[in-house]
Structure 1
Amino acid sequence: MKTVSEIKFEKIIKDGFHEILKPLGFKKKANNFYLKLDSVGQIINVQKNAFGNKDSISFTINTGIFVPEYWLAFYNYSDKGLPGYPTEPECLIRERIGSLRNQHDTWYHIKERTDEHYLIAEMRKNLTEFILPYFNRLDSTEKMLQELDKADMIMTPFGKLIVYGELKQFDKAKREYKGLLNNKTSPDFLMKVREYGQKYGLDK
Structure 2
Amino acid sequence: MQNELNQLIKETIAPLFKAKGFKKKGKNFAKLFPDFAWTVNIQSSKWNTKNEVEFLFNTGIYCDKVYTTLDGLKSPIFPLELYSMLRLRISDIKNIRENWYKISDKTDIEEIKKQVESDIVNVILPYFEQYQNVEDIINVLEIMDEKGEFECPHHLTLLYHYYGYPEKAQKRMREVYLTSQKEYIKELATKIGINVD
Q: Give the TM bin, normalised by the shorter chain.
A: 0.7 to 0.9
> By how many angstroms is 1:202 displaced?
4.5
- Residue 128 of structure 2 aligns to which amino acid in structure 1? F
Counterpart check, 1:53 vs 2:49: yes
Counterpart check, 1:138 vs 2:131: yes
Q: Aligned partners of 2:176 and 2:50: how far apart in 1?
A: 45
> By how many angstroms is 1:65 displaced?
0.8
Q: Structure 2 length normalisation: TM-score?
A: 0.85
| Aligned-CA RMSD value | 2.2
Counterpart check, 1:173 vs 2:190: no
The count of corresponding residues between Structure 1 and Structure 2 is: 193
Q: Aligned partners of 1:61 and 1:10: how far apart in 2?
A: 14
> By how many angstroms is 1:12 displaced?
2.2
Aligned match for 2:30, one of 30, 34, 37 = 34
> By how many angstroms is 1:151 displaced?
2.6
Give the direction of change, closer, same or farther, for the CA distance of 1:139–1:27 in structure 2 (3 Å limit).
Answer: same
* Equivalent pair of 1:40/1:139 in contact (CA under 8 Å): no
Counterpart check, 1:162 vs 2:158: yes
> By how many angstroms is 1:168 displaced?
4.1
Deviations 1:73-105 (A, max 9, x none): 12343xx4x322122111122111011001122
Alignment of 1:80-91 (within 5 A): 80=74, 82-91=75-84
- Residue 23 of structure 1 aligns to which amino acid in structure 2? A
* Equivalent pair of 1:44/1:63 in contact (CA under 8 Å): yes
Q: Aligned partners of 1:103 and 1:172: how far apart in 2?
A: 35
Q: Aligned partners of 1:72 and 1:38: how far apart in 2?
A: 16
Q: Structure 1 length normalisation: TM-score?
A: 0.83
Alignment of 1:112-123 (within 5 A): 112-123=105-116
Aligned match for 1:193, one of 179, 185, 190 = 185
* Equivalent pair of 1:165/1:200 in contact (CA under 8 Å): no
Aligned match for 1:22, one of 18, 24, 43 = 18
Moved more, 106-115 or 165-174: 165-174
Q: Secondary structure at the match of 1:158?
A: helix
The corresponding residue for 1:124 is 117
Q: Which runs of 5+ in 2 are unaligned?
A: none
Give the direction of change, closer, same or farther, for the CA distance of 1:179–1:120 in structure 2 (3 Å limit).
Answer: farther
Q: Aligned partners of 2:168 and 2:88: how far apart in 1?
A: 23
> By how many angstroms is 1:178 displaced?
4.3
Higher relative contact order (CA 8 A, sep 6+): 1
Give the direction of change, closer, same or farther, for the CA distance of 1:76–1:107 in structure 2 (3 Å limit).
Answer: same
Q: Aligned partners of 2:124 and 2:118: how far apart in 1?
A: 9
Q: Aligned partners of 1:128 and 1:100: how far apart in 2?
A: 13
Q: Aligned partners of 2:52 and 2:78: how far apart in 1?
A: 29
The corresponding residue for 1:105 is 98
Q: Aligned partners of 1:35 and 1:103: how far apart in 2?
A: 26
Aligned match for 2:65, one of 64, 69, 73 = 69
Q: Aligned partners of 1:24 and 1:98: how far apart in 2?
A: 22
Percent identity of the aligned residues?
23
Q: Aligned partners of 2:97 and 2:77: how far apart in 1?
A: 33
